[in-house]
Amino acid sequence: MILRTFGWSFGVTALGLVAALLYGGPAGLALVAVLAILEISLSFDNAVVNAKVLDRMSPFWQKIFLTIGIAIAVFGMRLVFPLVIVVITAGLGPIEAFDLALNEPDKYHHAMESAYPTIAAFGGMFLMMLFLDFVFEDHAHKWLPWLERPLASIGKLDQLSVVVAGGALALVAGLWAKDPGDVMIAGVLGMVTYILVNGLGELFSGAGGIDLDDDGDDDDDDDGAEGERAAEAERRGGPSQLALATGKAGFFLFLYLEVLDASFSFDGVIGAFAISTDPIVIALGLGIGAMYIRSLTVFLVRKGTLHEYVYLEHGAHWAIGALATCMLISIAHHVPEWITGGLGAGLIIAAFVSSVVRNRNAGDAEETASGEDKQLHSSRV
């Protein structure tokens, strides 16, 4: 299971570390290793949320996420995306930007930092909307009932997440931003992107788990195979295969995952410059970390971890809320990466421990009830 799930990550790690050693010597090797660990620690909550979405996707779209999605995450967001930012903000051509990254990393870093407020506004508002939509919804399991119950109650107000997120954006842009207009535009675009992608995914998912393949084929010949897959999903605690997203629904869930990954990677890409200004070293380190996040996502889905440890999803969303808040604060004030990563890791660890305690208490209650039933049966006999 471990080798099958993490095999590609192990292979990419070996190749990446060898490339780092050849490119930058022992110092380059050490920097790439540190960046990989940084990426994993900052994005663990991303893996948990990704797993929740991936669990709803058909096997075909899961494979797309693990192939094309990895290429987008590793090469697109960790290598091409920073260059695109410099091209747009500095008014350079792609070749000039790449030359600047290789030969004048300090200027390259400065160009990235100057664009950070708008990047943080976009990513922060996308993640803030994701967090607010979760906490304003009533869930069967409540990790922090003293807080989650009142939030779910006021969440009955229509579009409350938009109101709260929009108010937070206006406050940040008005009080802290040097360029309020740019921050407001980027933040609104982040909100619009979330609403659009999330809404399209729900629209094409349909009601009652209807299969919405593009060709509309609903042949009865597949009933046996669907039944077997549904039984397997039920055995591992996941949703029925009949309810998994295919066709347009799968595409928009895939698109949602990619935008979500991009929002998470913004902070990591900028923060990586505190460790190294070499774009090749950054791409290698963050690329290795991104591979492990993808593998961890698959591992959580295949093991049914989110169904077994029911508070993990809650912890991940609270960690996302903390990250979104840190990104908005960082528009005007630098927030150290160890604070961002520490908050996320701490919340997820706390949620995991709470889940373990809950499962243990539930097991003890079942054993007690079983013992009482046996004693009652014996007394009757």
What long-range pairs does 103-107 form, CB within 8 A, spacing at least 24?
105/277, 105/278, 105/279, 106/277
| Nearest partner of 301 among 236, 243, 234, 253, judged by Cα | 236
Residue 88's Cα: distance from chain center in Å? 26
pTM (predicted TM-score): 0.73
pLDDT, one tens digit per residue, over 256-268 is 888 877 777 766 7
Task: Extract the tokens encoding 164.
Answer: 């709260």
- List, for residues 91-105, the tens digit of each pLDDT value: 777 888 878 877 887
Mean pLDDT score of the chain: 77
Q: Is the pLDDT of residue 279 over 90?
A: no
CA distance 221 to 218: 9
Give the pLDDT band of residue 24 (cuts 50, 70, 90): confident
- Print burial letters for 29-57: b (CB count within 10 Å at least 16), e (below 16): bebbbebbebbbbbbbbbbbbbbbbbbbb
Residue type, 333: H
Spatial separation of the C-alpha atoms in residues 341 and 337, rounded to whole Å: 6
